[in-house]
Amino acid sequence: MDILCTRPGCSRINSFADLDNRNTLQTAQQKFCTSCGMPLILGGRYLPVKLLGQGGFGAAFLALDRFTPTMRFCVVKQFQPAGDLSAAQIQVALGLFEREASVLEKLGNKHDQIPDLFAFFPLVVDNPRTGKSDQFFYLVQEFINGKNLEDELADRGPFSESEVLNVLEEMLKILTFVHDKGSIHRDIKPSNIMRDQEGTLFLLDFGAVKEIAVGSVPGGGSTGIYSMGFAPPEQMSGGQVYPATDLYALAITCLYLLTGKSAQDLYDSYHNTWHWRQFAPQVSDRLAQVIDRLLLPTPRDRYQSASETLAALNSNLPSPPSPPSHSSTKIQGTPPATPAVPPPSGQVQHQNQPAFSTLELLGCAAFTGYASTLIWIATTSLFSSPGISMGLWGMMTGGLIFAQWGRIIEKLEMLVITGVSTVLFWFLPLLYLKTPLVTSLFLSLSQSFPMLSTPFWGVIVMASFGALGLVAILSLFRLVYQLLRLLL
């Protein structure tokens, strides 16, 4: 059996033929590195066999647990800070490492989608080079056999909306549990979300977790641990973090999976606006509105909990995010050199209505043309005065346009209004019999199409022409606009 040395700077692969025997493997007291003398069987039971990754604060190894019936794999994390860190920085890093162990013990062993903690222990060994003792810390956790979402994206390209919805819903369920236990993850990003071979999603890396339930200081600041491009402004400025902090990072994660683009490419720092929709025009209003609200710069204007976000996501049509309150909202200062930062200190970013896609605009035009034609027929039939009928027609049509522009009424409401108004005209001939144009159109239709034997069909034909006409006009204007953009 080959065992990897975990001493920083050594990493020698040591071969022990006797450990291929299971009885010897489970009864051997210890094995030592043939190069540096480092103990190889960690905690008396874990045998590192492969280096999984290495960073500024430590390394992670794939290891075997020799005291389990199946010799299960696990992940052994070693705390080994870079040599250029100060003593104070090392203590902070060690505190984060110990915090990850305690959080995994509290959360992982109680939730199926958070890795379990198996062990946490120190190891003091002699250093043959310096003649002094070195102290290492090890954390052993459940091994998730799969691929993180950052690697998935690199392999296969952007996710579909249904796939992103699945990720969002699963992470919201996990965060509901995490936040209810008084913790904030603070480092949500694609590389910290793992999908195992059975398709189950796991949330990893709890080293940056902030405890908020016990011992927290009101208004206390956050450490500088975060991932650039995913952290919200309150975290990057070192301010207090909230459950909404994780939700912001989760929204950025969803955009990254949807578009394959970083926050820098999706945020217009000059205008202080997100323009991600142009890179994902296929996204439904339901998902888009939830993401837009989670991206608001002020934490209290976002959804306040994962459960609230999940409820909005599962509703038929979430209400648009409420605009920030200008009277008492403290605007976060702009952290340096980041694209995903809201406006600088002293500026308030107003909530913009989500942009309309081309299909949405054409749908709105068809609805407005159909409905406004019905309104014109009804007002001219009910009121003999042209001034009154035209005034009512203008106000009601303007109200419909305003409601669509503000997304007060959308797809479902448009269908309901169209259906109800058509039924009303069917049962109430008073709404159209006194309109001369309807009567003359009915006479023409009845001669050409005998099956259309009631004036009601004249109403439907007129309304349909109104819808098609407005769609044609809008399409023509958009075509001219695009041509002018190309020419100018």
pLDDT at 485 over 60: no
> In which region does residue 20 sit, left (phi positive, over 0), alpha (psi from -120 to 50) or beta (all else)?
alpha
- Alpha-carbon distance of 292 to 77, in angstroms, equals 37
Domain chopping of the chain, boundaries: 2-142, 146-314, 358-487
Please, what sign has the CA dihedral across residues 43, 46, 49, 55? negative
Query: Taking the model in full, what pTM does it have?
Result: 0.59
Q: Average pLDDT in the 343-354 region? A: 38
- The CATH code of the domain at 2-142 is 3.30.200.20
Count CB atoms within 10 A of the CB of residue 41: 19
Contact between residue 298 and residue 324 where contact means Cβ atoms under 8 Å apart: yes
Q: What tens digit of pLDDT does each residue of 379-422 get? A: 888 887 888 888 888 899 898 898 887 778 888 888 999 999 88
More confident residue, 391 or 95: 391
Active site residues: 187
The whole-angstrom separation of Cα 395 and Cα 400 is 9
User: Which of 11-20, 59-68, 310-319 bottoms out in mean pLDDT, i.e. has the lowest?
Assistant: 310-319
Residue with structure tokens 């794939």? 62
Domain 2-142 identical in fold to domain 146-314: no
Binding residues for ATP: 77
Residues in the chain: 488
CATH of domain 146-314: 1.10.510.10
Q: Is pLDDT larger for residue 43 or for residue 93?
A: 43
pLDDT of residue 203: 94
Banded pLDDT at 82 (limits 50, 70, 90): low
Q: At what angle do helices 306-314 and 161-180 cross, to 10 degrees?
A: 150
Please name the residues in contact with 437: beta carbons below 8 A apart, sequence gap of 6 or more: 462
Binding residues: 77
**For the chain, how many helices (H) and strands (E)?**
14, 14
Which residues are CB-contacts of 246 (< 8 A; sequence separation ≥ 6)?
A: 175, 178, 179, 184, 185, 186, 188, 306
User: Tell me: the pLDDT tens digits for 127-150?
Assistant: 887 788 888 889 999 999 999 999
Residue-wise burial string across 105-126, b where 16 or more C-beta atoms lie within 10 A, e elsewhere: bbbbeebebbbbbbbbeeeebe
Q: What percent of the chain has pLDDT over 70?
A: 80
